[in-house]
Amino acid sequence: MNREADLVLHRARLLTVAPLGDERPRSGPAAGDVGAIADGWVAARDGAIVATGHGLAWQRLELVPRSTVEDVAGRVVMPGLVDPHTHLCYAGERWDEFTARRSGSDYLAILERGGGIHATVRATREATDDDLVAAISERIARAAASGTTTIEVKSGYGLEPEEELRHLRLIARARASAAIDVSPTYLAAHALPPRANGDRRAFLRSAQAALATVAAEHLAEAVDAFVEKGVFETEEVAPLMHEAASVGLARTLHADQLNDTGGAAFAARVEARSADHVSRASAEGLRALEHAGIVAVLLPGSALFVGYPPPDARRFVAHRVPVAIGTDHNPGTSPLEGMPTAIGLAVTMCGLTPHEAIVAATINAAHALGRGARTGAIVEGRRADLVVLDTDDERELAYRLGAPLVRAVFANGRAVSPAS
């Protein structure tokens, strides 16, 4: 082996999460296979993984000058974490709502009264471009420090298309200087803006009309909608989703989060790349997801903070629906930060095993963002997105909730956070 490398991590418990013969997301009995290699190593060059192995074979690599070679002394090295669902583009916090919900106020009732999402919309509208870019960038950097090397960022607190486009352009600015890979999403139908005066159809038509600009300026990779009782119905957003497909944008949905409104089956109908939340998805919805091979993105943070029953991951695994997990970071339903916490909650609240949660937070989440062949696994040819844990047993990620176990992070072969 006379391959060149500029980064080598050796003497690792290496979790490759390597594909099992095909490039589909993991489901069913394969959902917990992390592809562990004892005394393993990974080598990268110019941001791409060039080889993996075990023992001392890495010593035959040709190391270029100023290479990073680290003996990780038996620690876990795993793929960089992928957060497939965040709402990082916002200003202001929602302390009052958070407090009111503790004494019984209902999330959807607050929204209907013009609070909730609308409160964040008002604060975000008032924020300057520079302040918003700084806030988004800081949140991305914090995610990176906790092991995230690919992150989805939604708009959605603009509501009116012009303001949504402003947010998407600001996300693009933050993306340009981010150390990690950012996948932007246009959350086109999050709530009905007050200025729509109740005219849902006219609003949805205007959101649909904005898709041409979104596609032309490459402002988003996907289009999202909040399909929920009292928010938007599946049939209402169908034209938006079809138009998204016709301009080359992927589809994703907030589906069956608080109530079953047929969102999961609808996600299958519009060939969405993921159906997210899905706490209330019916058996029929799960069958539709399984049949269409759509990733279910479980977001236990919002179930925890809002207090609704979390999705039962065992149902999804039993139905062979591929499962991913995300933080859903947002100021309303899920202020939680960091994929390690989401992994812990997915295990304790949703019933994934620790290994299933690691698959859900790496390769399956990469699939949810259309990056299933690019990242999410430690395999030759993929981006060198790597995390070194301060433990020799990856199950500790789920077990010691909140513990700072992320020791080092490499995104595209470069260290993005110093060892803690």
Classify 273 as helix, strand or coil.
coil
CA 342 to chain centroid, in Å, comes to: 10
Q: How many CA atoms lie within 13 A of 16 on its CB side?
A: 21
Least Cα distance to 116 among 316, 267, 331, 293 occurs for 331
Considering only residues 150 through 209, tell me which ones interact with ligand NIG, judged by CB under 6 A. none
Least Cα distance to 116 among 272, 310, 334, 312 occurs for 334
Nearest distance from C-beta of residue 332 to ligand NIG, angstroms: 2
Least Cα distance to 78 among 401, 398, 322 occurs for 398
Which of ligand NIG, Fe ion, none sits in contact with 417, Cβ below 5 to 8 A by type?
Answer: none
Q: Which is nearer to ligand NIG, 51 or 324 (CB)?
A: 324
- The one-letter code for the residue type at 202 is A
Considering only residues 292 through 331, tell me which ones interact with Fe ion, judged by CB under 5 A. 328
Count how many residues are written for the chain. Answer: 420
Residue 279 within binding range of ligand NIG, rule CB under 6 A: no
Among 84, 116, 147, 310, which residue sits at the site for ligand NIG (rule: CB under 6 A)?
Answer: 116
Nearest distance from C-beta of residue 339 to ligand NIG, angstroms: 16
Which residue's C-beta sits nearest to Fe ion? 328
- In this structure, is the dihedral angle defined by the CA atoms of residues 299, 301, 305 and 307, taken in order, positive or negative? positive
Least Cα distance to 267 among 282, 240, 243, 288 occurs for 288
The span of 172-180, 243-251, 327-335, 396-404 binding ligand NIG (CB under 6 A) equals 327-335
Binding mask 225-244 for ligand NIG (x = CB under 6 A): -x------------------
Q: Which is nearer to Fe ion, 330 or 412 (CB)?
A: 330
Residue 302 within binding range of ligand NIG, rule CB under 6 A: yes
Q: How many CA atoms lie within 13 A of 4 on its CB side?
A: 8
Residue 328 within binding range of ligand NIG, rule CB under 6 A: yes
Which of Fe ion, ligand NIG, none sits in contact with 58, Cβ below 5 to 8 A by type?
Answer: none
Residue 120 within binding range of ligand NIG, rule CB under 6 A: yes
Which residue's C-beta sits nearest to ligand NIG? 332
Give the interface size with ligand NIG as a residue count (CB under 6 A).
13
CA 321 to chain centroid, in Å, comes to: 17
Binding mask 332-371 for ligand NIG (x = CB under 6 A): xx--------------------------------------
Q: Position of tokens 């992994």?
A: 343
- The one-letter code for the residue type at 267 is A
- Dihedral, 352, 355, 359, 362 alpha carbons, nearest 10: 110
Q: Which is nearer to ligand NIG, 90 or 410 (CB)?
A: 90
d(CA 208, CA 394): 44
Residue 115 within binding range of ligand NIG, rule CB under 6 A: no
CA 207 to chain centroid, in Å, comes to: 23
Residue 83 within binding range of Fe ion, rule CB under 5 A: no
Site residues for ligand NIG per CB under 6 A: 87, 116-117, 120, 226, 254, 257, 302, 328, 330-333
Site residues for Fe ion per CB under 5 A: 328
